[in-house]
Every structure is written in structure tokens, then in C-alpha cells.
Amino acid sequence: MKVSIIGTGYVGLVTGVCLSDIGHDVTCLDINPNKINLLKHGKSPIYEPGLEELMAYNIKKNRLNFTTSHSEGLRDAEVVYIAVGTPQAEDGSADLSYVMQAAKDIACHISRDTIIVTKSTVPIGTNYKIKQVVLEHLQEDVTVDFVSNPEFLREGSAVEDTFNGERIVIGSENEEAADKMEALYEPFRIPVLKTSILSAEMIKYAANAFLATKISFINEIANIAEKVGADVEEVAYGIGKDGRIGDKFLQAGIGYGGSCFPKDTHALVKISEESNHDFHLLKSVIKINESQKSVLYQKAKKRFGSLAGKRVALLGLAFKPETDDMREAASITLSEKLLNDQAEVIGYDPIAIENAKKVLPEGVIYTDKIEDAVKQADIVFILTDWKEVIEKTLVLTCLFHEQPVLFDGRNCYSLEEVQKFNIEYHSVGREAVRPAIQERELTASF
């Protein structure tokens, strides 16, 4: 099928590349000329495992094109996806200006019967607004159908998730359009769920809100576990074995970040308010997450009193491993707090340093070697569980520091493993581990 995708970000680009890989003729359109220029040269503007290779393969097969031109990008398209950003507006709601602009652009440039598919995460009822805008601006005498097709991929495994998703949601009020979309996705062999447009839009927000709730729930359990002497890793394992609870998204840590959970939870609170409903639960989830981002800072303050003059290494700056996305990363909150306390901050990330420089406060220094970050620091914080960070941090901290103190925001190590090292180790929802000598001194003083 001839498919066009508006917006070549994490969702639009991955969707376009994967649809071309299953044989569709795909054109990706973006208003950012720098992105399109890179893409035309086979370079991905984002770091996403496997994406660049797949892109190169399909460009070569001549079924994947990139353009900034609406007339070129939308002409002859049978299916047009809207995959532009829906960032958080100041009042917490989703900013729909990019979506509505895309809707106008489509209306002005399509030249045949088209299905307009909204992949961007949009508040319930937005597809009707898109329909209104399109019909107002339509230039040709063509038939347009509307489908809500929310996206569930995760950054860092976006290609893998697209090929192996657990469901594809197709919200439509037109059976023929829904069938056509089902046929388009058929080669993926992923179960298709056909719903109303409004339900499809709601499924997306409900899914993200539920996952965010699981994370805040386990983080609260972690905070209590520390106080009562339980171990959150054991607790998560124990409750995750119950099939009704499930073992996923129970990793305690420094809270969720990223481009979606934070903004989508706020947007759903706003949607609820507009429907005269007070979503107490979700408001608490957001509040818990905000305070959870400071957990390592609080622990370090408690341990050292003042952090002034201390150099803190932040290992992992991106909001999660395998991505260069810095949106709502815990490193932002932490570096601000540390610098405010007159601490020095040295940041390391295997991929995200260039993006980090654009958003972290002035004063943060960077290194592209984890060894340097640990060596130059007085205190080490693990913020993102990159494979390299897990593999090297414990050993490097012990190697370079006379009295090593490690604050682990992702519970990368088992306590048994840590006990083999002469290190002071603070993690989330578990007791602190003290070095053997310090432990002996503590016992002797009683």
C-alpha cells in the first residue's frame, strides 16, 4: 500500500521503516529539514537499536523515501499517518497544535480517497476534531476515513516492539477502513483489536497511566520496605509471581521519565477534570514520581550532611537505557539539585551526551568515558541501567576510591554481590550495605 507518515520522530520513523520492511511503499514527511537531510543519507537522527540498518535496507529496496515537501509526501497516499508530537502544554493538557497543523496539511494535499490514521497520543475525542479540520480544508473531491491507531512501542526497543507487539488497536467507525488497516498490518501477525474511535484513544491513556501506576506503587512499597527492613526486590518478585499482578513494571528505582508517562499522566488528569472527574489515584502517582526522582539526592544528603564541594558522577543521563532521549530524565532533576547545593557534577552516558548538553544545567561537566567519571568523582550515582554501567560501576568504584560509596538508583546489583566488595552501597527499597571494616567498627561501638 502507498503509505505516508507525517512526523519522523521516535514513532513516525520507526513505524515508517517497519511498514516499508513488510513491503509497503512508504514516504516519511517532516518539517525539520535537518532530520530529512540526515535520513536521506541513511542516517537516523535518533538512537534506536536496529533502526539504521533496517532503514538502509529498505531505502536500497526503493520502498522508503523521505521528504519535507507536503505535495510530494502526500500525493497518491492511500493511508496517511499523523505521528507528530503532542507535548505537554503549560496547563498539563496535550498540546494539539502539531496534530491540527498536520490535519490541515493533509487536507490541502491529498489527491485520492485516503484513510487518515492518528498514531500520536491524543485526548479522547481528538479524532473528531481532526475530522472537522480535514473536512473544512479539503481541496479535492475525495473520500476520507478516520482511524485511531495508538502506538505502544517503547524507546530503546522500538523496532523489536513494532514487529512483536502484543496487540494493534484500530479504532474506527467505518468497517471498510478498519479492514484495510488490518490488511496493512497483516504481515506483522499481531492480534488486531477493533474498537470505537473513543475507546481506542482512551486505551492509550489508560495503558500508560496503568503502567505509571505500577511503577509509583512499587516505589512506594520500596520506600516503606526501607523503613521496615524488607527488601523491595524480594517483594516485587514475590508479588509478580501472582499472575493477576504480573512481574513486569515492578522495578523500583528513581521513578519514571521519558517523553510519554509524565506528559500522558498529566494529560489524563486534565481530561478527567474536563469531564468533572477528580482522578485522585493518578494525581498521587504523579506526586510520588516527582519525589522519587530525588531519592538518591536525599540519601546522599543524609549520608554526607553537606554535598558542597563534593564531585558527584551521574552514570546514565538518558531516561532509560538504549536511547538518547533526555525528555524528563531523572538526571535533569538531580543535576539541578546537586549544583544548587554547590556540588560538582560530572555526567557520563554511552549515547546521550550531546542531547544531555542541550537540557542539563550549565555547570555540569561531561566525559565520554565511564572510567573518567568514576575516577574524578567523590560519590557515584547510577541513574540509568545501561549494560555498560551495570558491568563496570561496582568494580570501577572500588578500584578508584579509597572509601567507595555508591548510590544505585536502579538496583543494578544483588546485595550478595555487593557484599563481596569493600564498598558502601545505597540502593532503593533495600538496606544499605557497609564495607566489612566499617561494619566491624559499627558493631564494636555498640
Ligand X SMILES: NC(=O)C1=CN([C@@H]2O[C@H](COP(=O)(O)OP(=O)(O)OC[C@H]3O[C@@H](n4cnc5c(N)ncnc54)[C@H](O)[C@@H]3O)[C@@H](O)[C@H]2O)C=CC1
Of 27 and 251, nearer to ligand X (C-beta) is: 27
Give dist(CA 356, CA 147) in Å, integer: 36
| Residue 32 binds which entry of ligand UGA, ligand X, none, CB below 5-8 Å type-dependent | ligand X
Of 86 and 251, nearer to ligand X (C-beta) is: 86
| Distance (Å) of CA 140 to CA 113, 115, 135, 295 | 10, 14, 10, 57
Give dist(CA 268, CA 280) in Å, integer: 11
CB 12 within 8 A of CB 73: no
| Residue 171 binds which entry of ligand UGA, ligand X, none, CB below 5-8 Å type-dependent | none
Give dist(CA 132, CA 116) in Å, integer: 12
- Nearest CA among 201, 43, 198 for reference residue 119: 201
- Nearest CA among 37, 16, 59 for reference residue 153: 16
- Residues near ligand UGA (CB under 6 A) are 121, 151-155, 208, 211, 215, 249-251, 253, 256-261, 319-320
Is 30 annotated as belonging to a binding site?
yes
In angstroms, give the least distance from the CB of 39 to ligand UGA: 21
Degrees, nearest 5: CA angle 349-353-359: 120
| Residue 7 binds which entry of ligand UGA, ligand X, none, CB below 5-8 Å type-dependent | ligand X
DSSP letters spanning 330-367: HHHHHHHHHHHTT-EEEEE-SS-HHHHHHHSPTT-EE-
Distance between start and end Cα atoms, the chain: 76
In angstroms, give the least distance from the CB of 73 to ligand UGA: 24
Is 252 annotated as belonging to a binding site?
yes
Closest CB to ligand UGA belongs to which residue? 260
Handedness of CA 164, 170, 176, 181 (dihedral sign): negative
| Residue 249 binds which entry of ligand X, ligand UGA, none, CB below 5-8 Å type-dependent | ligand UGA
Collapse the DSSP code of 169 into the 3-class scheme (helix H, G, I; strand E, B; otherwise coil) and give the result.
Answer: strand
| Residue 261 binds which entry of ligand UGA, ligand X, none, CB below 5-8 Å type-dependent | ligand UGA
Pick the catalytic residue: 18, 28, 260, 412? 260
The answer to whether residue 260 is catalytic is yes
Give dist(CA 214, CA 240) in Å, integer: 11
In angstroms, give the least distance from the CB of 260 to ligand X: 5
| Residue 301 binds which entry of ligand X, ligand UGA, none, CB below 5-8 Å type-dependent | none
In angstroms, give the least distance from the CB of 78 to ligand UGA: 25
Is 74 annotated as belonging to a binding site?
no
In angstroms, give the least distance from the CB of 325 to ligand UGA: 8
DSSP letters spanning 368-430: S-HHHHHHH-SEEEE-S--HHHHHHHHHHHHHH-SS-EEEETT--S-HHHHHTSS-EEE-SSS
Of 319 and 421, nearer to ligand UGA (C-beta) is: 319
Residue found by looking up cell 523489536 in the block: 160
Is 86 annotated as belonging to a binding site?
yes
- Residues near ligand X (CB under 6 A) are 6-12, 29-32, 35, 83-86, 98, 101-102, 105, 120-121, 151, 153, 155, 259-260
In angstroms, give the least distance from the CB of 11 to ligand X: 4
Of 125 and 240, nearer to ligand X (C-beta) is: 125
Is 367 annotated as belonging to a binding site?
no
Residues in binding site:
30, 35, 86, 121, 152-155, 204, 249-253, 257, 263, 320, 327
Residues in binding site for substrate:
152-155, 204, 249-253, 257, 320
Give the catalytic positions in this structure: 260
